[in-house]
């Protein structure tokens, strides 16, 4: 339930954190770094993306990453393997990419088909080429406070916070979700920037009350629009990592408030629109700032992948 006081506050303070502008700035910086590497060292950064199977979402994600590489001058390779590929065959490809000095970053697109051990595959990637930041060596370095390659989504969120001058040091932060891809590395980065961090999950008691204490709330739980007004401290910064499809027009009207008609037109054209793990209409009434979906964290994830690839090329 949203109080009148919260509605008044929202009118004065609520604003959208534009991930697109920050991502564009990062990509410009990456393009300049690529040009310098080529001019001074004769090095052309190269990212090899490996996809196994025909998952439609994975195909789109890889295509977007390759397109982003082209925009900044990074050379990219797309290794699209059939779903029948064995773990042995996939490991052989990774070993060949590890051995090539002209390949600086290796990305394994998830999910992998059943029968392939994802942990074994991620551990097979050379840590010096692990631009996703998922190898145990890079995870350990982050945990020790000496990060090298940081998972791209948490790294992008930190850039968003810092470039919008959102104070992290001394802030109460809450991360909802404890995955190795977002939740845990996000908590580590916030701690290393002097926030006081609580990590929540499905077993957290009175989750809304815990989340409501946070000045910075990061939501990566994978449940459409789960986090409503009662989870959000008035004036808080809300970072929505979720990405879920909405196909029902009546649901869109309930979720998107003033933006509902535009979203319904998108559903009519494409069959769906996207919503995060945060209820956007309710969050707008309480939060001081929030990220949109789409146009928020997802764009930053790709930008940080590019930055990690250039970093790998420079280090190698």
Query: ∠ CA(259), CA(303), CA(28), 5° rounding?
Result: 105
Please say if 132 is a catalytic residue.
yes
> H or E stretch including 217?
strand 216-219
Q: In degrees rounded to 5, what are phi and psi of residue 175?
A: -110, 120
Q: Which of 6, 27, 109, 215 is catalytic?
A: 109
3-state DSSP call for residue 226? Answer: coil
Please say if 65 is a catalytic residue.
yes
| C-beta separation of 49 from 62 below 8 A | yes
Residue 115: half-sphere exposure toward Cβ, Cα within 13 Å:
11
Q: Which of 6, 27, 65, 130 is catalytic?
A: 65
Q: At CB < 8 A and 24+ separation, what contacts does 66-71 make? A: 68/27, 68/302, 68/303, 68/305, 68/306, 69/306, 69/309, 71/27, 71/31
Q: Which of 6, 129, 130, 132 is catalytic?
A: 132
Indicate which residues carry an active-site annotation: 65, 109, 132
């Amino acid at each position: 339930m949203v109080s009148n006081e919260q509605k008044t506050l929202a009118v004065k303070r609520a604003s959208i954190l534009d991930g697109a502008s920050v991502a564009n700035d990062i990509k410009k910086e990456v393009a300049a770094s690529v040009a310098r590497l080529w001019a001074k060292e004769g090095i052309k950064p190269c990212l090899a993306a490996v996809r196994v199977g025909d998952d439609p979402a994975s195909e789109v994600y890889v295509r977007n990453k390759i397109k982003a590489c082209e925009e900044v001058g990074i050379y990219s390779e797309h290794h699209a393997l059939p779903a029948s590929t064995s773990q042995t065959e996939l490991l052989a490809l990774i070993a060949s990419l590890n051995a090539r000095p002209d390949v600086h970053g290796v990305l394994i697109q998830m999910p992998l088909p059943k029968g392939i051990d994802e942990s074994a595959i991620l551990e097979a990637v050379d840590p010096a080429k692990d631009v996703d930041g998922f190898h145990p060596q890079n995870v350990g370095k982050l945990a020790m406070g000496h990060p090298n390659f940081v998972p791209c989504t948490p790294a992008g969120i930190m850039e968003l916070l810092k470039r919008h001058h959102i104070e992290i040091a001394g802030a109460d932060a809450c991360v909802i979700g404890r995955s190795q891809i977002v939740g845990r590395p996000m908590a580590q980065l916030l701690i290393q920037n002097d926030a006081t961090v609580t990590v929540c999950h499905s077993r957290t008691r009175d989750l809304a009350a815990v989340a409501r204490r946070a000045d910075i709330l990061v939501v990566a739980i994978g449940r459409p629009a789960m986090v409503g007004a009662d989870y959000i401290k008035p004036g808080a910064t809300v970072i929505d990592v979720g990405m879920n499809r909405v196909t029902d027009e009546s649901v869109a009207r309930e979720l998107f408030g003033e933006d509902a008609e535009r979203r319904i037109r998108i559903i009519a054209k494409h069959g769906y629109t996207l919503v995060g793990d945060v209820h956007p209409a309710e969050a707008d009434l309480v939060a001081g700032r929030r990220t949109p979906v789409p146009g928020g964290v997802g764009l930053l994830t790709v930008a940080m992948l590019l930055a990690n690839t250039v970093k790998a090329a420079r280090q190698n």
